[in-house]
Amino acid sequence: MGKLTGKSAVITGAASGIGRACALSFAREGALLVIADLNEHEGTATAEQCIAAGGRALYRRTDVASEAEIKGAIEQAIAAYGRLDIMFNNAGVPGALGPIETIAAQDWDRTIAILLRAGYLGMKHAIPELRKAGGGSIISTSSAAGLRGLGNAAAYSAAKAGLVILTQAVAIEVGADRIRVNCICPGVIDTPMVNRGRQGGTEETLTRLAQTQQPITRVGRSEDVAAAALFLASDDSQFITGTAISVDGGFNTGNGWLGPREQKSTDFRGPSYLR
Amino acid sequence: MGRLDGKVAVITGAASGIGQATALRFAREGATLVAADLNAQGGERTVSECAASGAKAVFQRTDVSSETDIKAAIDRALDEFGRLDILFNNAGFPGPMGPIETVPVEDWDRTMAVLLRAPYLGMKYAIPAMRRSGGGSIITTASDAAVRGLALAATYSAAKAAVVMLSQSVAIETGPDRIRVNCVCPGRINTPLGRGASRPFDAEIERQMAAMQPIPRAGQPEDVANLVLFLASDESEFITGCAYIVDGGRMTGSARLGLPGMSVMGFVGPSFQR
């Protein structure tokens, strides 16, 4: 018996990165999955890997900017598996980057639509189905940037912070239905999205960032986030709701990293957004 | 394959409540345990139940307000089992109840000694041992009273909030050694401390506790134990400096809209918005 045997989950953005790692982790525990993503090629491949890992899975093309497509992904879970137990609002983009005064309004709107509005829509359409199942777990991928603002990524930060409080508010509403609502705040994780958003730089840059900006001196992996997601999806966390759990190597800890080990404390400089 | 195979853990307050439930959960996942507590009878019962799961476990009489006792509990793990991987600073104490101006200074001091000073001492002695073991996980039982102040229990709240910040600071120091430092913040849990020690878990108190948070049941020690297990295991090796809440949503948000039967018209938001 896996931790998620017989449980049905819709995961948006599951074709790659964190979403894919979570889908595989859930599949290994016996879950029934809808891989909801824009990328048909990668999404189908993920579904096949999930089946090989011991779960059941199907790919459903989903643009999370579309209410109809989010609703469709959930309806697909009901049609295929007869129930919904887990809704994982994970699809993400870096969004509009750069100083706030340079952000075009349509780019702001699109960032908020994909990162925040999609979370609300996932909750809206999942809740009636989770109630029918007698309870369940809604998880959203927020970010360390949803707890502490990240310079040059204000739209992303604002949307991710919105998810944290949306999570709190909805958790109060649906607790009585045994539906838990939580979010995960990953730090710097080595995923395709992070690598696309980094605007240049190499693998070494990510490693150097990990060594200088956080206590745990390695880059985060999608599997690190997947372990937390599995915990939140399973019955082990049935008394946990309204929370934001960080998986960030200590990135958000304290008021700044002490610096690489060879630096003296008088050289202390925090992350750039605190200078 | 257990999630804690080969790992050695010291748990304070292991004779009852959250500490006992966590010890048993750890034992089922393959850990080896030092059950540290003042209560020998409860502690020995924890040890024998761990052994019934096939785990190695010993009881170490420990008064967490004594630096020597805490050092001895850590040393017991090293002497008996050769390593230390997990420290769970869990021993709890309700502290003085009532308005702050009625709190005697001796009660403040004792509360701080058990709830704040003891975790610091645990960290002080565990960190060198964990470095030698190649890393580890330090978990401290804080409280949802560390997230929002609890009226009539200000001493307890202050101590619990302090331990969260202590954990953050120490997490920065020990991260490169692969030692992670986190807290768990339980809400109202069905334990002697959570119920008020003399009360049994009868239908009335169960009903009261179920009404305290959005999730409509009393929190159980196993709810906290499952979270501590996650933070103790290698699954969470990228997680440090955090305080994870396990309170059924009690401290979520700013207003308890979740009371059954309360209509939207009855909603009263935070006072600063009226």
B19-51 pLDDT, tens digit each: 999 999 999 999 999 999 999 999 999 999 999
Cα(A258)–Cα(A265) distance, rounded to whole angstroms?
7
The residues, any chain, with a CB within 8 Å of residue A109's CB and separated by 6 or more, are none
Instruction: Tell me the one-letter amino acid at A28.
Output: R
Q: What is the pTM of this model?
A: 0.90
Residue A256's pLDDT is: 52
Residue (of B187, B186, B173, B166) closest to B122 by Cα position: B166
The CATH number covering residue B84 comes to 3.40.50.720
**DSSP designation for B98:** S
Beta bridge mates, A139: A88, A182
Q: Which helix (H) or strand (E) holds B80?
A: helix B67-81
| CATH code of residue A218 | 3.40.50.720
Mean pLDDT computed over every residue of chain A: 90
**The predicted structure's pLDDT at residue A261:** 46
Domain membership of residue B255 (yes or no) is yes
pLDDT of B274 higher than 60: no
Are B221 and B20 contacting, i.e. CB atoms less than 8 angstroms apart? Answer: yes
Number of structural domains in chain A: 1
Kindly give the residue spans of alpha helices, DSSP state H, lying in chain B. 17-28, 40-52, 67-81, 105-112, 118-133, 154-174, 192-195, 203-210, 221-232
pLDDT of residue B267: 39
Structural domain harbouring B101: 8-273
Compute the Cα dihedral for A53, A57, A63, A66 and give only its sign.
negative
Tens of pLDDT, residue by residue over B145-160, are 998 888 889 999 999 9
CA nearest B177: which of B136, B124, B125, B235? B136
In tens, the pLDDT along A52-97 reads: 999 999 999 999 999 999 999 999 999 999 999 999 999 999 999 9
Local confidence band at B257 (pLDDT 50, 70, 90 cut-offs): very low
The ipTM estimated for the assembled molecules is 0.87
Mark yes or no for CB contact B239/A168 under 8 Å: no
Name the minimum distance, in Å, from the CA of B247 to any CA of chain A: 6
What is the rounded distance in angstroms from the CA atom of residue B139 to the CA atom of residue B113? 18
Q: Does B272 touch chain A (CB under 8 A)?
A: no
Give domain status of residue B251, yes or no. Answer: yes
CB atoms within 10 A of CB B48: 11
- Upper half-sphere CA count for residue A76 (Cβ side, 13 Å): 22
| B259 within domain boundaries | yes
pLDDT in tens, B232-253: 999 999 999 999 999 999 988 7
Chain A residues touching residue B258 (CB < 8 angstroms):
172-173, 175-176
Q: Please determine, for residue A274, whether its predicted confidence score (pLDDT) is greater than 90.
A: no
Number of compact structural domains in chain B: 1
Asked if residue A268 is part of any domain, the answer here is no
B254 pLDDT exceeds 90?
Answer: no
> Which residue of chain A has the CA closest to B221?
A239
Q: What is the pLDDT of residues A6-23, one digit of tens each?
A: 999 999 999 999 999 999
Can B156 be counted among the known catalytic residues? yes
- Give a yes or no: residue B233 inside a domain: yes
Query: Confidence class of residue A271 from pLDDT cuts 50, 70 and 90?
Result: very low
Residues in chain B: 274
Instruction: Identify the CA nearest to B88 among candidates B213, B180, B151.
Output: B180
CA A164 to mean position of chain CA atoms: 11
pLDDT, tens digit, 9 for 90 and up, residues A231-242: 999 999 999 999
Nearest to B118 by CA among B150, B92, B153, B137: B92
Q: What is the Cα B9 distance to its own chain's centre?
A: 14
User: Domain span at residue A16?
Assistant: 8-249
Of B44, B118, B42, give the one whose Cα is nearest residue B74: B118
Q: pLDDT per residue over A183-226, tens digit each?
A: 999 999 999 888 765 555 566 778 888 888 789 999 999 999 99
Distance CA B64, CA B121 (A): 9
Residue A266 placed within a domain: no
Which position has the token pair 């745990």?
A216
Q: Is the confidence at residue A266, as pLDDT, over 60? A: no
CB contact under 8 A, A172 and B248: no
Interchain pair B240, A171: CB under 8 A: no
